[in-house]
Amino acid sequence: MFRHTDIRQAPWYVVDADDKRRARLNCIHPLLRLLPYEDLPPPKLTLPARQPDTGYVRPPLDEQSFVPQVY
């Protein structure tokens, strides 16, 4: 399949994925290099004064759905 579809106008790229973490990083690296990047300092923020406590009570934890902790 590669022999017939891997052409100069539409090349295929193969990723050595024995190490999944490195494979993912190797996949995104060339894509990120295509994007123009300019290191910009963040703008200075001015925050409003804090609002007074209105007595918020968090709902019980057993009524909430959580994303599983993998790491």
In the predicted structure, residue 71 carries a pLDDT above the cut 60: no
**CA atoms of 31 and 45, how far apart (whole Å):** 32
Tokens representing residue 19 in the block: 């190490």
Summarize pLDDT for 21-61 with one digit per residue, the tens: 888 888 888 888 899 989 999 999 999 999 999 998 888 88
| pTM of the full structure | 0.44
